Amino acid sequence: MLSTTGLMLPKIAEIAPSWTSRTVSIRPKTGWPTFNPSICWNGTEILTVIRTANYRLDPQWHSMEMLSAPLDFFLPGPDPRTVNYIGSLSEKLEWLRAPIPIVLPEGCGNPAWREGIEDCRLLLIEGALFAIATIYDRSSGDNLMGLVRLRDDGGISGVLTLVSPLNKPREKNWMPLVRGKTLHLIYSCNPVIAVTIDFGSNAMSSRKIEDGPAELRGWAGSSQGCDVDGSMLCIVHHKVLIADRLHYSHRFVMFDDDLHICALSAPFIFQHEGVEFCAGMTRVHDRLFVSYGVGDNAAMIGSLSVAEALDSLAWRRRA
């Protein structure tokens, strides 16, 4: 794949020889494509959310074919719809709990958010399961960011909407880093801007951390942060239009205790050029499991050793 500088980008297997991946299959009632899974290790199983949506990308990746579904399953309409499924996997990526739909019950949140919770990033806060997600509000056409409280039975017990630090009406892809009772949401990588929620004091704030590395201009969140020796390792993404086709690339990025970027890898792709999007990374013992979508039509999970991910990083001094 060509980068914005015209260089060929390596596949992740070229920088991490231990890399293996496989498709994670489910059969949604709607028959819609599955993609952009997120994952979270809870100590015994890999909690997994997989997105399904009522569209299919065309070969040029910049228009959508809208798909139908049983009318008793979702509200009819021409706009994009999402139904997420939650289940759990073993370390061998075998289903332990079969995936079931995530439901926004009546009286929880805005009815205009139904089938509008997109690209969840799973996280555990003090043992409770949450997701950071984009929420498409079809009454306004805006994309909000929300912190969604999830139950084991697929229900949603609460939604906290988050304020854009730049007052934008359309937001996506904030990157969650959990430290105890504090949730940091990386808004951008250049400059590094973070939204912080302190559950101990029930306070929310946003601030600019630093200008960030010049090579990360235009790069944004993909995965959650994984604790590696006290720092937070993440995957970030960048997309660019080349010859009428969208191309996505990814990097590993490390944040220190103060949320400064202390290391980053060179860009890579997962398996082919085009639309690939990472929405999850979690550490299981000495391996990192990475979840990503391909072409908005396949849900994939791969893994690599923590050591190989760290070996890919170039460390930088704080400015």
Helix (H, G, I), strand (E, B) or coil at 111: helix
Does residue 195 have a pLDDT over 90? Answer: yes
Rounded to whole angstroms, the Cα distance separating 240 from 11 reads 17
Helix, strand, coil share (%) of the chain residues, nearest 5: 5, 55, 40
Residue type, 38: S
pLDDT in tens, 115-130: 899 999 999 999 999 9
- 19's tokens: 């890399």
pLDDT at 9: 94
pLDDT at 189: 97
The dihedrals phi and psi of 171, each to the nearest 5 degrees, come to -125, 150
pLDDT at 69: 60
Sign of CA dihedral 11, 239, 314, 228: negative
In the chain, what are the domains?
12-315 (2.115.10.20)
**Residue 7: pLDDT band with limits 50, 70, 90:** very low
pLDDT at 4: 43
- In whole angstroms, how far apart are CA 139 and each of 81, 124, 135, 186? 13, 31, 12, 27
Q: Residues 181, 125: contact at Cβ < 8 Å?
A: yes
**Residue 297: pLDDT band with limits 50, 70, 90:** very high
What is the DSSP track for 139-175?
Answer: TTTEEEEEEEEE-TTSBEEEEEEE--TT--SB----E
Does residue 108 have a pLDDT over 70? Answer: yes
Mean pLDDT calculated for residue range 269-280: 95
Rounded to whole angstroms, the Cα distance separating 32 from 115 reads 13
pLDDT at 319: 62
pLDDT at 84: 96
- 269's tokens: 């792709």
Does residue 136 have a pLDDT over 80? Answer: yes
**Residue 147: pLDDT band with limits 50, 70, 90:** very high
Distant-in-sequence, close-in-space partners of 133: CB < 8 Å, separation ≥ 6: 117, 118, 119, 120, 121, 145, 146, 148
Helix (H, G, I), strand (E, B) or coil at 9: coil
Does residue 153 have a pLDDT over 70? Answer: yes
pLDDT at 243: 79
pLDDT at 244: 77
pLDDT at 71: 44
Mean pLDDT calculated for residue range 29-55: 95
